Amino acid sequence: MHTIATIVAYASGFALMRYHESAANLLATSLAVDASLAPLTTIVAMRRGRPATWWAIVGFPFGLWAFIAVLLIGKPRASSPRLPGEFPPTSDAA
């Protein structure tokens, strides 16, 4: 039980706070931190044009790490809409 609690604590980023309690408290607190960071990660991802469902799924098990990742990853590049026949450009040199 202690090993699972430690893995969950490091995955969520909660173990960085050097929280030393019983395995049950560590597991419960880590899951609470994950549950609170997952919606926040999802909201930031949506505002940055990223897929919300994917970030919600990743945000729960990886808590703080997913939140930092969504903050560091910029907005996706907007592709310029092309009209049919615009690409490739025609040349009159021939």
SS (H, E, C) the chain: CHHHHHHHHHHHCHHHHCCCCCHHHHHHHHHHHHHHHHHHHHHHHHHCCCCHHHHHHHHHHHHHHHHHHHHHCCCCCCCCCCCCCCCCCCCCCC
23 has pLDDT over 90:
no
Tell whether 93 is covered by a domain. no
Better-scored residue on pLDDT, 85 or 34: 34
| pTM summary value | 0.66
Tell whether 25 is covered by a domain. yes
* Residue 21, domain extent: 2-72
The Cα–Cα gap between 24 and 67 comes to: 24
Q: What percent of the chain has pLDDT over 70?
A: 80
Tell whether 82 is covered by a domain. no
